[in-house]
């Protein structure tokens, strides 16, 4: 099932709709509908799960306040769905946890030109989300904004990230993914020594025709394909998964001299 990420009955079941509205899921080519989520959540409730975790990203390209409110509505909806199908004795233990991380634009994707959403706007949208949730059994959790800033910086830099990483390491930075180990100050000190502005790096978009810091590395995607996908994303047009249907012309197979194998053929 595309939506299911992981789960056990004690810890809850995690689904990743990633965006609250169908419009924005189409922009990111998620190829998942609210009906898919309903079916998966319903099956989970009926199989004995009480706790659902929903994972979303905030700051996706073209995101609006309506998309943020849609996250809250979807979470409320999943909660109500559970309460409507489980036996009365279980209803009090039904809960939905919403986990929201800040979108990190990644190289070699159609969103590689995008900036990360700036901190003040993240805070405003986080508040909007919390205010939009109607049910107290829905809890909202955020990924730390400072960690997201460093993730975006490392994602958007090229070779010049190497001395930055070394500088942070020399200052004692280790295991950044562990919140108790993470120190934004060490990164900021290392950046200042190199004359780098972390906020500007994370929050400034690249021009569509700019030479990107990672262009010397190629995963095999044809030039122009990512730009085409970027334009399709902005138009809300989805692209089919080529392992399920037919080739969409990204160019990887001819570049790497391999053949596509459809899921049906693998089964």
| Interface with ligand SF4 in residues 82-111 (CB under 6 A) | none
Cα–Cα dist 34/46, whole Å: 18
Burial class of residue 190, CB neighbours in 10 A (0-12, 13-18, 19+)? buried
Q: Does 262 bind ligand SF4 (CB under 6 A)?
A: no
Torsion sign, CA atoms 187, 190, 194, 195: positive
Q: Does 205 bind ligand SF4 (CB under 6 A)?
A: no
Which of 85, 145, 248, 262 binds ligand SF4 (CB under 6 A)? It is 248
Piece in contact with ligand SF4 (CB under 6 A), picked from 15-23, 56-64, 87-95, 241-249:
241-249
3-state secondary structure of 58: strand
Q: Does 37 bind ligand SF4 (CB under 6 A)?
A: no
Piece in contact with ligand SF4 (CB under 6 A), picked from 80-88, 161-169, 174-182, 243-251:
243-251
Which of 5, 217, 247, 263 binds ligand SF4 (CB under 6 A)? It is 247
44 in Cβ contact with 15 (< 8 Å): no
Residues 6+ apart with CB under 8 A from 265: none
3-state secondary structure of 100: strand
Tokens of 241: 């998964």
Which of 133, 252, 264, 265 binds ligand SF4 (CB under 6 A)? It is 252
Q: Is 10 or 246 the residue whose CB approaches ligand SF4 more closely?
A: 246
Which of 253, 262, 265, 266 binds ligand SF4 (CB under 6 A)? It is 253
Residues that bind ligand SF4 (CB under 6 A): 242, 247-253, 260
């Amino acid at each position: 099932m595309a939506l299911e990420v992981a789960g056990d009955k004690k810890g809850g079941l995690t689904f990743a709709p990633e965006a609250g509205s169908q419009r924005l899921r189409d922009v990111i080519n998620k190829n998942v509908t609210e009906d898919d989520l309903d079916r998966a959540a319903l099956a989970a409730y009926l199989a004995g799960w009480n706790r659902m975790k929903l994972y979303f990203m905030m700051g996706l390209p073209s995101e609006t306040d309506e998309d943020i409110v849609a996250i809250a509505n979807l979470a409320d909806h999943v909660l109500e769905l559970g309460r409507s199908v489980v036996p009365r004795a279980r209803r009090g233990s039904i809960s939905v946890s919403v986990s929201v991380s800040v979108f990190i634009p990644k190289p070699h994707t159609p969103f590689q030109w995008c900036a990360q959403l700036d901190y003040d706007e993240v805070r405003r949208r986080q508040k909007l989300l919390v205010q939009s949730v109607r049910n107290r059994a829905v809890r909202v959790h955020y990924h730390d904004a400072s960690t997201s800033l460093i993730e975006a910086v490392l994602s958007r830099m090229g070779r010049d990230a190497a001395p930055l990483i070394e500088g942070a390491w020399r200052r004692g930075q280790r295991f950044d993914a562990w919140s108790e180990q993470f120190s934004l100050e060490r990164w900021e000190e290392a950046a200042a020594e190199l004359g780098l502005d972390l906020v500007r790096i994370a929050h400034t978009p690249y021009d569509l025709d700019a030479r990107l810091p990672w262009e010397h590395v190629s995963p095999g995607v044809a030039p122009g394909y990512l730009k085409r996908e970027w334009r399709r994303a902005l138009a809300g047009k989805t692209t089919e998964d080529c392992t399920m249907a037919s080739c969409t012309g990204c160019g990887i197979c001819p570049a790497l001299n391999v053949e596509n194998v459809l899921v049906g053929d693998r089964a």
